[in-house]
Amino acid sequence: MPIYEYLCQKCNKELEVVQKFSDEPLTTCPECGGQLKKLISASSFILKGSGWYLTDYASKDRKKAMEAEKNGGKSESKSQKTETAKK
């Protein structure tokens, strides 16, 4: 469910409310009873899991960086793996 932001016209308090798309917008402030104005804000989200461009179709360098991030930054190049195997 999305998070909507409201600003009270009377007390200037900002509210964040989790609401369904089908819910009616809030109109009165729960603190002072003033009129609420719905704010437009930039939402952020992260696409996780398989099936997204970043995880399945991105360039090889991007995939290597993502795998290194998953492994806690412990990524080895081919030359490092070869040298480790020779020892």
Q: For residues 31-69, b (16+ Cβ closer than 10 Å) or e, as one string?
A: eeebebeeeeeeeeeeeeeeeeeeeeeeeeeeeeeeeee
Average pLDDT over residues 46-60: 66
Which pTM value belongs to this model?
0.49
Kindly report the average pLDDT of the chain as a whole number.
77
73 against 12, higher pLDDT: 12
Per-residue pLDDT at 28 exceeds 80:
yes
| pLDDT at residue 24, rounded to an integer | 92
Average pLDDT estimate for 4-20: 92
Rounded Cα–Cα distance for residues 19 and 45 (Å):
17
Q: Determine the pLDDT at residue 69.
A: 77
Round to whole Å and give the CA distance between 6 and 28: 10
pLDDT at residue 30 in the model? 92
